[in-house]
Chains A and B, each alone.
Chain A
Amino acid sequence: MHLWGVAMEQTIGEELRKTPLHALHLDLGARLVSFAGYHMPVQFAGVKEEHLWTRAHAGLFDVSHMGPCFISLTGRKLSGQEAHLAISAEVERLVPSSISSLAPGRARLTVLLDEGGGILDDLIITRPAEPELQGTLYIVVNGAVKHQDWALFAQGLSSDVSIQRADDRALIALQGPQAAAVLEGILPDCAALRFMQCQRLAWQGQVVWCSRCGYTGEDGFELLVPQDLAIPFAEALLADDRVRPVGLGARDSLRLEAGLCLYGQDLDTSRTPVEADLSWVIQRARRDRGDFPGADRILQQIATEPELKRVGIQPLDRAPARQGTEIQLSGRRIGMVTSGGFSPSLERPIAMGYIESDFAEPGTEISLLVRGRLREARVCALPFLQPNYHR
């Protein structure tokens, strides 16, 4: 059998970047793999164990491979709401969400679109809470495409908008029902935040950007921490018995249970937000104005129905249906699985994928072609597990 991708990678290329937590991963006995250009922990104690721990307690994830950045107005003498509206107008040229309507300290999921309405990336945009930071947006893009995203920002935004990368810092996620109780021990003010809110907090005299969000369906936080504080900060969290380190393997199974998309698998330029069942990221004001890339096609799809739609898929036997599995009905191909695996929480396989809209209704019986053999499955609603957000 093949163990690559499973066993420790044999060749660690010199070009692989290390996150500020790399030495800690080695100390913790992580199994490391190459991911998005970084040397990343795929698992510590084991995918299933880490997954279930996060659902019951709190998991600590290193997501420093992602692309945190700040974009700011530099040339214009604006402040407060005026400054926010000006920077929002810049970014709204690239995304279909309403950024101008974000309240201070609020974050929103959105997508970067190409001219055809295809998804270039999904990202979180935050309006800082602090009055002195109006005119700046804190943005986190995906690691695998961060360089092209930043190139797109540089090209698509006005010349007096600066882009400051922050991917030299550590981005640490603490996720799970006990995450808030743990984090309050070292950042007491985090307790005031609700889901999709963000505040800058101080730890050991330095700024930590604390966002109450995540990629697991659990309550939790993503923390942007200065490089030199990364290991002490992670160690302060890990000192709590309720926290264990979690690798990318469990991160993937957790997000799949939560019905969340992985860019490059469930989202790419061949999909629009409507097909991806992400129309909700396009607020009414933006639909009315129709002033975002690919608006014609996207508004048309909202008005009628796209040919394909992203749905949940419930295999009816024990065989996982992985990415690329063909979906059939009466011998005809009607779609494809884009993410699939085994759900440790539900102890059965789960999947999501794109299917012809006529068959997208939950309960529709379909077949999955797994290694040449048709297996029964059913379309189902997403997510597989109800989220546990602190709203």
Chain B
Amino acid sequence: MTTYYTEDHEWISVEGELATVGISTYAAEQLGDVVFVEVPEVGTSFGKGDDMAVVESVKAASDVYAPVTGDIVESNSALEDTPESVNEDPEGEGWFVKIALKDPAELSKLMDAAAYKAFCANQ
């Protein structure tokens, strides 16, 4: 299992052709208290960079983008009742969706954990 990161602060953890996606610990900290999450329905297809989900803090709503092209095979509907898990465990319990990858080659354009850490340090 390998985890990649986007410049828009999504993480994507890949096992074969199945990827789990969420927002990074850095993004969750920046957002503050998450009060609402809207995840897409199973079966929806997204292109890389499409608006895929919404995460809301007290202050504002932010779009979460699809880090890769693919179809939603599972959504974390538990986030509807416990949006706070995005703050408590953003890269674990707070996952958003599972995506069946359409084009695994897209992964090569993403950052690994070390590169992402350096990227955030420059934000």
Interface residues of A (CB under 8 A from B): 1-3, 5-8, 10, 42-43, 46-49, 51, 249-250, 252-253, 318-320, 322, 341-342, 344, 349, 371
Interface residues of B (CB under 8 A from A): 8-10, 23, 27, 30-33, 35-36, 38, 54-65, 80-81, 83, 123
Determine whether the beta carbon of B8 is less than 8 Å from that of A1: yes
Determine whether the beta carbon of A320 is less than 8 Å from that of B8: no
Contacts of B65 in A (CB 8 A): 1
Determine whether the beta carbon of B58 is less than 8 Å from that of A344: yes
Contacts of A2 in B (CB 8 A): 8, 62-63
Cβ of A355 to closest chain B Cβ, rounded Å: 22
Cβ of B33 to closest chain A Cβ, rounded Å: 4
Determine whether the beta carbon of B55 is less than 8 Å from that of A47: no
Determine whether the beta carbon of B62 is less than 8 Å from that of A320: no
Determine whether the beta carbon of B33 is less than 8 Å from that of A6: no
Cross-interface CB contact of B57 among A6, A10, A318, A371, cutoff 8 Å: A6
Determine whether the beta carbon of A320 is less than 8 Å from that of B35: yes
Determine whether the beta carbon of A319 is less than 8 Å from that of B30: no
Cross-interface CB contact of A253 among B56, B58, B83, cutoff 8 Å: B58
Q: Are A47 and B32 CB-contacts (below 8 A) given A3-B27, A3-B62, A319-B38?
A: yes
24 A-B pairs with CB atoms under 8 Å apart are A1-B10, A3-B27, A3-B30, A6-B31, A6-B57, A6-B59, A6-B62, A10-B123, A43-B32, A47-B33, A48-B33, A249-B58, A249-B59, A318-B35, A318-B81, A318-B83, A319-B38, A320-B61, A322-B60, A341-B58, A342-B36, A342-B58, A344-B33, A344-B58
Contacts of B10 in A (CB 8 A): 1
Cβ of B9 to closest chain A Cβ, rounded Å: 6
Contacts of A47 in B (CB 8 A): 32-33, 57-59
Given contacts A1-B10, A341-B59, A371-B54, 18 further A-B contacts (CB under 8 A): A1-B9, A1-B27, A1-B64, A3-B27, A3-B31, A6-B59, A7-B123, A47-B32, A47-B33, A48-B58, A249-B58, A253-B58, A320-B56, A322-B60, A342-B56, A342-B57, A349-B35, A349-B36
Residue of B nearest to A252 (CB): B59
Q: Are A48 and B32 CB-contacts (below 8 A) given A3-B9, A249-B58, A319-B38?
A: yes
Residue of A nearest to B51 (CB): A371
Cβ of A42 to closest chain B Cβ, rounded Å: 8
Contacts of A344 in B (CB 8 A): 33, 58
Bound: A46/B30 CA distance, A: 10
Determine whether the beta carbon of B60 is less than 8 Å from that of A6: yes
Contacts of B58 in A (CB 8 A): 47-48, 51, 249-250, 253, 341-342, 344
Cβ of A350 to closest chain B Cβ, rounded Å: 11
- 7 A-B pairs with least C-beta separation: A342-B35, A48-B33, A47-B58, A1-B64, A249-B59, A7-B30, A1-B62
Task: Name the residue in A5, A43, A48, A342 with the highest tally of chain B Cβ atoms < 10 Å from its Cβ.
Answer: A342
Bound: A10/B81 CA distance, A: 34
Q: Are A318 and B54 CB-contacts (below 8 A) given A6-B59, A47-B32?
A: no
Determine whether the beta carbon of A371 is less than 8 Å from that of B38: yes
Bound: A341/B57 CA distance, A: 9
Contacts of A371 in B (CB 8 A): 38, 54
Task: Name the residue in A5, A8, A249, A318 with the highest tally of chain B Cβ atoms < 10 Å from its Cβ.
Answer: A318
